[in-house]
Amino acid sequence: MLQTNRLLPLIELFHWCLNRQTELFFGIEFLPTLFQIITSHLKHRVPYECQQMKELLVDFLISSQITVKLKNKHAIVKSI
């Protein structure tokens, strides 16, 4: 999936889910599975030809501040 850039739409869907309001966020049942798919593909070793694609994907994740949004949603869930 990384070689064909099919992981990017999944990351954008994950980003969209994190931007939902808290009430709507709890209704998204596929979010843990989506997170597992993304992390398993990022952990997977890629061929040398695709290494640059993986680095660009990680740069996209960092620049989109997905980790900050994930921490904020986790804090909201823990407080409820």
Q: Along the 80 residues of the chain, how does pLDDT read in single tens digits?
A: 666 677 888 888 888 888 887 676 667 788 889 889 988 888 888 888 878 888 888 888 888 888 888 888 878 777 76
Is 51 within 8 Å of 34 (Cβ atoms)? no
pLDDT for res 52: 85
**pLDDT given at position 1:** 64
Q: Number of folded domains in the chain?
A: 1
* Residue 2 belongs to some domain of the structure: no
How many Cβ atoms from other residues are within 10 Å of residue 7's Cβ? 19
Whole-number pLDDT of residue 56? 85
- Is residue 29 within a helix (H) or strand (E), and if so which, with residue range? none
**Apex 23 CA angle, 17 and 68, nearest 5:** 45
pLDDT of residue 2: 61
Is 21 a domain residue? yes
Is 1 domain-assigned? no
Q: What is the pLDDT of residue 3?
A: 64
Distance CA 24, CA 30 (A): 13
11 lies in which domain range? 7-79
Look-up of token digits 């952990």: 43
Q: Is residue 25 part of a domain?
A: yes
